[in-house]
Amino acid sequence: MYLTRHPMRGYIFVTPDRFDTEEYLEYWIDLCIAFNPFAKASKPLAKKK
């Protein structure tokens, strides 16, 4: 997934046609929940002075 010039690691973009049924939606939610324990928090941004 790209929101800036750099890819955002650990993100995917799922188009609406991939979760148009309850089964598809449940699949993607389960996949996200299974991945979550492996996700790492971002480093905090430095405060501007």
17/26 Cα distance (integer angstroms):
14
Domain for residue 5, yes or no? yes
Domain for residue 16, yes or no? yes
Domain for residue 46, yes or no? no
Domain for residue 47, yes or no? no
Instruction: Show the domain range for 21.
Output: 1-41
Domain for residue 25, yes or no? yes
Question: What's the domain count of the chain?
Answer: 1
Domain for residue 10, yes or no? yes
- Per-residue pLDDT 10s for the chain (49 aa) are 566 777 777 677 788 888 888 998 899 888 888 887 777 777 777 777 6
pTM of the model: 0.53
- The candidate with the shortest Cα–Cα distance to 9, out of 45, 46, 41, is 41
Domain for residue 48, yes or no? no
Domain for residue 13, yes or no? yes
SS (H, E, C) the chain: CECCCCECCCCCCCCHHHCCCHHHHHHHHHHHHHHHHHCCCCCCCCCCC
